[in-house]
Amino acid sequence: MQKLAAGNWKMNGTAEVLAEIAALAAAEPTPACEVLICPPATLLSRLSDAAKGSPIRTGAQDCHANEGGAHTGDISAEMVADAGGHYIIVGHSERRADHAETDAIVRAKAEAAWRAGLSAIICIGETLEEREAGRTIEVVGGQLAGSVPDGATGVNTVIAYEPVWAIGTGKVPTLDEIGAVHDDIRTRLVDRFGATANDMRLLYGGSVKPGNAAEIFGVSNVDGALVGGASLKAADFAGIVSALK
C-alpha cells in the first residue's frame, strides 16, 4: 500500500499560491508516499497544470452527486476529472456542519466520484461532545456504515478519520486514542468489504504538523494524513510528506 499525504486548502488561496506547488515539488522531488493537494475549485485546473511533471496529484474538496444540470454554484465529479483532479474529498465535517450534509448525501457524492473514475476520500469523525460522552466508536462506526457506499475498494476509497475537535485547534488525540479508532475502522471495513479493505488507506486528520507527523504515522492502521493548515505552506507540508515512509 502506498501511503497518502493529502492537503486540504479549504477556502484559502488565489493565483499567487500556485508557487507553493513548485516549492513543494522542489522540496520533495521523489516522495516515498503519494502526495495530493485539494485546492479551492477555482484553482484546480491551474494547479493540475502546475503539478504536471511532478509526483503531486490534485483533487477537489467536494462535488455534487449529479453529473450536470440545474445546480447553481455546484461542480460535478466529471468537472473535477476534466480539471485534472484524481480525488474528491467528501463529507468533510465543515461540509456536514455548514451544508447539512448527511451520511446519505456523502455516500451519493462518493459514488459520483467513482462514476467519474476518481477516488473518494470519505471523512468521518466525532465532535467533542460525542467524545466526552464516550460515544466516539459508535458515532464513527455509524458514519462509516452510512457514508461508505457498497463497492468500496482499496483503489476507489480512502477513509479520513478527523475528530471535529482536533481540526484547526492544535489539539490532537493521544496516539492510543487514534490507534483505537483506526483499528476499529479497519475491523469494520474488513467485516464489510473483505480483504480489499486491508488496502484501503485510513488517514488521520486534525492538527497534523511537521512536529507531530512522524509519531502519528507510527500508529497502527494510520496510512497517511489529511492536512489543513499545515498544507498551505510548502515547507510545512514537505515536512509532513517526508515523515511518511
Interface positions with ligand PGA (CB under 6 A): 8, 162, 167-168, 205-208, 226-230
Instruction: Choose between 117 and 168: whose C-beta lies nearer to ligand PGA.
Output: 168
Shortest reach from residue 225's CB to ligand PGA, in Å: 8
Q: What is the sign, positive or negative, of the torsion defined by CA atoms of 168, 174, 180, 183?
A: positive
Task: In angstroms, give the least distance from the CB of 37 to ligand PGA.
Answer: 12
92 is catalytic: yes
- Alpha-carbon torsion 30, 35, 112, 73, what sign? negative
HEC states along 184-206? HHHHHHHHHHHHHHHHCEEEEEC
**Is 162 one of the annotated active-site residues of the chain?**
yes
Q: Nearer Cβ to ligand PGA, position 7 or 31? A: 7
In the complex, least distance from residue 172 CB atom to ligand PGA, rounded to whole angstroms: 9
Give whole-number Cα distances, 14 to 18, 19, 48, 87, 150, in Å: 8, 11, 14, 21, 37
Query: Active site residue: 20, 126, 162, 182, which one?
Result: 162
Cell 492537503 locates to 7
Of the two residues 114 and 204, which places its CB atom closer to ligand PGA in the complex? Answer: 204
Q: Of the listed 64, 86, 92, 182, which one is catalytic?
A: 92
Give the residue numbers marked as catalytic.
92, 162
